[in-house]
Amino acid sequence: MTSSTALLTDRYELTMLGAALADGTADRRCVFEVFTRRLPHGRRYGVLAGTGRVLEALADFRFGDEELSWLEREDVVDQRTLAFLADYRFTGSMTGYAEGEIFFPHSPVLTVEGTFAEAVLLETLVLSVLNYDSAIASAASRMTSAAIGRPVLEMGARRAHEQAAVAAARAAAVAGFAGTSNLEAGRRYGIPTIGTAAHAFTLLHDDEETAFAAQVASAGPGTTLLVDTYDVKRGVERAVAAAGTGLGAVRLDSGDLGVLAQEVRAQLDGLGARDTKIVVTSDLDEYAIAALAVAPVDSYGVGTSLVTGSGAPTCGMVYKLVAREGADGRLAPVAKASTQKTSVGGRKTAARRLDPATGRAVAEVVVTGDDAAVTAWQPGAGLRGLVVPLVVDGVVQPGWTGAEGVAAATVRHAASRDELPRGARRLSADEAALTTETRTV
């Protein structure tokens, strides 16, 4: 099987390319922009994630013999287009928000510039990555915010497509999750991996005491023992008996977690296991985590809600042509005027306006106007520039991919979220935390 990402796309990207090659417009220089017209209902901000994965996928966006043969057999494109695809390499440029950054409606989170032929082919791949990863990171950010500093762990691999599970673990890490159960995500992106035992391990043994003794013998007393297979109170007693008062943690996966956590904490303390942590799982989301804020819980494990975006599985991002080369060789703005699906023509850049007294964000500023002026624009006092170079003349810039990219995005997200105005992280439904202002230059 090929590792090419070139066919992770829609057919119409290639049929548009074929028509443009035939009529001579394929070489026109173009600017495409990725943005969202609105946030999902109830969300006050979005989190950009997946940029590093887009850049990793770009390196494998090649049409090899296997891809070309299939396209020819299926009569998807003509011979001229096949010849173009055989030599395809993206030689254009990409700029955008740094991964981990907060975004709002109409934020130009990614700009792709190149010939029409080069840039149009990337639409579906870019959107499929950014829409999913950003949805997961946006949900994950609400969860880590609700946890108020307590670790949140990703455990959703069994509730998603196997490759989506890796992407979700990565996006969750960008938004502050402390670890993942997914080993491939750990290997590929340097995310700490976590996990000890399921109920099946306890049920395998003749009794709970034997199961706990076996796990402690294998993993050491610092392990986490799952204590709710039968009776929680007896489970805690047996866990401490097996591991001693140095038991690392107990996990609760069912029942009224808030009440159970109180009872278990008192029981552990009474048994002398004061340093033993309490981990809770069981279909948690940001609301459940917030409800457990006053409970003696030390960390949270989240699965299904995380990998499905906690009710918002996509960000609604679009990839729109906003400028193209005219007959005079200059870039001319173009825009879509369809009802409720409008776009604003022209290249854009963006900055965040900060309150000089508090350093907190007060507005998203999107800059548009003459192409040369937008390209040259620099944020002045009180503005933090948001757009950075990602790809220059086909070369991916360093620091955005792999484990290094995830680590940098995690730090960036924490700083960006801390910059939001007070109240922006409320879970109650409300408008976007920042208004978007348009500035023409």
CB 276 within 8 A of CB 249: yes
In this prediction, residues 79-83 reach a mean pLDDT of: 98
Tokens of residue 192, six digits:
């700490």
In this prediction, residues 240-244 reach a mean pLDDT of: 98
- Per-residue model confidence (pLDDT) at position 2: 60
For the stretch 263-305, pLDDT in tens is: 999 999 999 999 999 999 999 999 999 999 999 999 999 999 9
Alpha-helix runs per DSSP H in 41-147: 51-59, 65-73, 79-86, 116-120, 123-146
> In sequence order, which residues have a C-beta less than 8 Å from that of residue 249 and are 6 or more positions away?
223, 224, 225, 276, 277, 278, 279, 298, 299
Q: Considering only CA atoms, which of 150, 156, 158 is closest in space to residue 171?
A: 156
In this prediction, residues 106-125 reach a mean pLDDT of: 98
DSSP state of 193: B
In this prediction, residues 41-55 reach a mean pLDDT of: 96
For the stretch 248-266, pLDDT in tens is: 999 999 999 999 999 999 9
In this prediction, residues 81-99 reach a mean pLDDT of: 98
Q: In what order do the strands lie in the sheet with 152-154?
A: 179-180, 152-154, 299-302, 277-280, 249-252, 224-226
CATH architecture of 196-286: Alpha-Beta Barrel (3.20)
For the stretch 148-178, pLDDT in tens is: 999 999 999 999 999 999 999 999 999 999 9
- Per-residue model confidence (pLDDT) at position 264: 98
| Residue 130 burial (C-beta neighbours within 10 Å; 0-12, 13-18, 19+) | buried
For the stretch 17-32, pLDDT in tens is: 999 999 999 999 999 9
Query: Above 80 in pLDDT, residue 339?
Result: no
Give the domain ranges of the chain.
Answer: 11-136+312-345+388-424, 196-286
- Per-residue model confidence (pLDDT) at position 327: 86
In this prediction, residues 194-208 reach a mean pLDDT of: 98
In this prediction, residues 30-57 reach a mean pLDDT of: 96
CB 242 within 8 A of CB 225: yes
Q: Considering only CA atoms, which of 265, 262, 297 is closest in space to residue 281?
A: 297
Q: Considering only CA atoms, which of 254, 212, 260, 259 is closest in space to residue 237?
A: 212
Mean pLDDT of the chain: 96
CB 127 within 8 A of CB 365: no
CA-to-CA separations, 439 to 110, 336, 349, 368, in angstroms, rounded:
18, 20, 10, 6
Q: In this predicted model, which residue has the larger pLDDT, 257 or 339?
A: 257
DSSP state of 340: T
> What whole-number percentage of the chain has pLDDT above 90?
95
Residue the block writes with tokens 């599985």: 313
Distance spanning both ends of the chain, measured CA to CA: 50
> What whole-number percentage of the chain has pLDDT above 70?
100
At residue 187's C-alpha, the angle toward residues 186 and 188, to 5°, is: 95
pTM of the entire structure?
A: 0.96
- Please spell the DSSP secondary structure of 224-266, one letter per residue: EEE--SS-HHHHHHHHHHHH-TT--EEEE-SS-HHHHHHHHHH
Q: Considering only CA atoms, which of 110, 154, 137 is closest in space to residue 312?
A: 137
Query: Above 80 in pLDDT, residue 341?
Result: no
Q: In what order do the strands lie in the sheet with 383-385?
A: 383-385, 349-354, 361-368, 435-440
1: pLDDT confidence band, cut at 50, 70 and 90?
A: very low
What is the CA 342 to chain-centroid distance, rounded? 26
CATH fourth-level superfamily of 11-136+312-345+388-424:
nicotinate phosphoribosyltransferase (3.20.140.10)
For the stretch 394-429, pLDDT in tens is: 999 999 999 999 999 999 999 999 999 999 999 987
- Please spell the DSSP secondary structure of 271-305, one letter per residue: TT-TT-EEEE-SS--HHHHHHTTTS---EEEE-HH
CB 76 within 8 A of CB 14: yes
Return the C-alpha torsion angle 425, 426, 431, 432, nearest 10: 10
Task: Phi first, then psi: give them for residue 141, nearest 5 degrees.
Answer: -65, -40
> In sequence order, which residues have a C-beta less than 8 Å from that of residue 136 and are 6 or more positions away?
49, 167, 168, 171, 172, 175, 306, 307, 309
